[in-house]
Amino acid sequence: MSKKIFQRISLLPVFILCFLSGPQNLHANSETGDSVSVIHKLHSEELVRGERLFYGLIYSGEKAVNCASCHNTRFSDSLNWNPDAYEISLKYKDLPVNDLSAVLLNPKGAKLSEVHNEFDLTEADVVLIKAYMDEIAVSGLVQAKPIMNKLILFIFMIIVIVLALAELIFIKKLKPKWIHLLLIMAALTYIGNTLVKESIAIGRSQFYSPDQPIKFSHTIHAGQNQTNCLYCHPSAEYSKSAGIPSANVCMNCHLIVRSGTHSGTWEINKVIAAYENNMPVEWIRIHNNPDHVFFSHAQHVSVGKVACQECHGEVEKMDRLIQVSDLSMGWCINCHREKEVEFHTNKFYNEYEDLAEKVKSGELDMVSVEKVGGTECMKCHY
């Protein structure tokens, strides 16, 4: 009897795993629901054939092309310069098949003719590929949630405790008691540790690096082309926020530069479209202090002469921007305690006469931000 229960309980993690790891749609689009019925007019075998063609699983002639090797069908957390399968599918959803044939069988433009090179596809194949792409335009990309691993481990640890207790109290097959104790201690340590870590991290987002609407690369712009940070973020010098450039700023160069080495015309076309339709690009904000915190770029960049990189990391080497600092209070305070201000050369500090005296008399060998009030609560909190 108890053995059966034991067996059932031990299957629980497997069920939870299956339940949690179900696919999740990223861009599920409810407006386009009616096109599902159009797709279903095609035989399901044809749709499957379209899918197999898209994944290069049908070996026709010389070589099979795997469209998905360039056009992601799954959400990816690293940079892929090629447009994803959802984007291209959405563009061609309401266009005639001929338009898709044109870009596949007869590609124009430097990048497109390089990547869509001699595809061994017939017009009939393209019809089937299009049917599959129409389906992607509705269902979106597939994302496997990484956080789930942590959650699964967490639940697993709870189950370990329950099982160990059940064995200890009811089943009593295992003689040495220290095994139970060890398991329970280990599981409790993990649970306690996770709870503490997660609750500290609430509201913080270190290493946050969302997918942006345009694959803008700081490596290309601030690194390779050496465009000054302030060319695009000019208000960092004189205002609270550094700001994100509008499409007008991009167009200073992209009126001429119409195609990129990595992404061809696809990404730059989005900049041009935003500019021509007078629509802002919806960049996703990465760094964000809570509302009760006052932070000013001008204070740090102009007065403190702190380099952007001290807080934001080597941005000029980031193809995809990532938040490297945790922006916690400890992070601000630590720097304020250690960082020396340019006390003698900066007129800003002339009012601190008593400090100047102490430096002169040798009582202080350097003036940190803390000494000029950088750790007073009211300086950072409204």
Of 128, 183, 214, 367, the residue at the interface with ligand HEC (CB under 6 A) is 214
Any contact of residue 212 with ligand HEC (CB under 6 A)? yes
Using CB under 6 A as the binding rule, whether residue 255 contacts ligand HEC is answered as no
Q: Is residue 319 a contact residue for ligand HEC (CB under 6 A)?
A: no
Q: Is residue 300 at the binding interface for ligand HEC, with CB under 6 A as the rule?
A: yes
Rule CB under 6 A: say whether 303 interacts with ligand HEC.
Answer: yes
CA 198/CA 27 separation, integer angstroms: 28
Taking Cα atoms as reference points, which of 282, 19, 318, 287 lies closest to residue 145? 19
Token digits for 85?
């399968």
Q: Which one among 336, 343, 367, 371 touches ligand HEC, defined by CB under 6 A?
A: 336
Q: Which of 222, 324, 343, 371 binds ligand HEC (CB under 6 A)?
A: 222
* Site for ligand HEC contains 256 (CB under 6 A): no
Stretch that binds ligand HEC, among 141-149, 150-158, 186-194, 244-252 (CB under 6 A): 244-252
312 is a contact residue toward ligand HEC (CB under 6 A): yes
Asked whether the beta carbons of 75 and 143 are under 8 A apart, the reply is yes
Judged by CB under 6 A, the stretch of 28-36, 38-46, 172-180, 229-237 that binds ligand HEC is 229-237
For ligand HEC, which is the closer residue by CB, 183 or 301? 301
In degrees, rounded to 5, the angle at the alpha carbon of residue 152 between the alpha carbons of residues 148 and 153 is 120
Q: Cβ closer to ligand HEC: 187 or 372?
A: 372
Residue pair 235/242 in contact by the 8 Å Cβ criterion: yes
> Residue 190: phi, psi to the nearest 5?
-60, -45
Q: Does 241 help bind ligand HEC (rule: CB under 6 A)? A: yes
**Which letter, b or e, does each residue of 227-252 get, where b requires 16 or more Cβ atoms within 10 Å of its Cβ?**
eebeebbeebeeeeebeeeebeebbe
Size of the site for ligand HEC (CB under 6 A): 105
Looking at beta carbons only, is 9 or 115 nearer to ligand HEC?
Answer: 115
Give the distance between the most distant pair of CA atoms in the chain.
90
Per CB under 6 A, 72 contacts ligand HEC:
no
Does 264 sit near ligand HEC (CB under 6 A)?
yes
Q: For ligand HEC, which stretch binds (CB under 6 A), given 26-34, 175-183, 266-274, 354-362?
A: 266-274
Closer residue to ligand HEC (CB): 2 or 77: 77
CB-based contact 207:318 (threshold 8 Å): no
Q: Does 227 bind ligand HEC (CB under 6 A)?
A: yes
Q: Is 234 in the site for ligand HEC (CB under 6 A)?
A: no
CB of 103 or CB of 131, closer to ligand HEC? 103
CB atoms < 10 A from the CB of 26, how many?
Answer: 14
Q: Which is nearer to ligand HEC, 13 or 107 (CB)?
A: 107
Binds ligand HEC by CB under 6 A, chosen from 140, 263, 324, 371: 263
Q: CB pairs under 8 A, 24+ apart, for 327-333?
A: 327/204, 327/206, 327/287, 327/288, 327/289, 328/204, 329/380, 332/380, 333/375
- 305 φ/ψ sector (left φ>0, alpha ψ -120 to 50, else beta): left
> How near is the Cβ of 62 to ligand HEC at its closest, in Å?
14
Q: Is 365 left (phi over 0), alpha (psi -120 to 50) or beta?
A: alpha
- Give 65 or 157: the residue with its C-beta nearer to ligand HEC: 65
Site membership for ligand HEC, residue 352 (CB under 6 A): no
Site for ligand HEC in 93-122 (CB under 6 A): 100, 103-104, 109, 111-112, 115-116, 119
One residue of 10, 69, 122, 206 binding ligand HEC per CB under 6 A:
69
Residue keyed to tokens 């949630």: 145
Query: Of 12, 109, 126, which Cα lies nearest the Cα of 65?
Result: 126
Q: Restricting to residues 163-182, name those near ligand HEC by CB under 6 A.
A: none
Which residues contact residue 60 at a Cβ distance below 8 angstroms, ignoring those fewer than 6 apart? Answer: 120, 121, 125
Terminal alpha carbon distance of the chain? 64
Among candidate residues 215, 228, 222, the one with its CA nearest the CA of residue 271: 215
Query: Site residues for ligand HEC, window 29-48 (CB under 6 A)?
Result: none
User: Any contact of residue 203 with ligand HEC (CB under 6 A)?
Assistant: yes
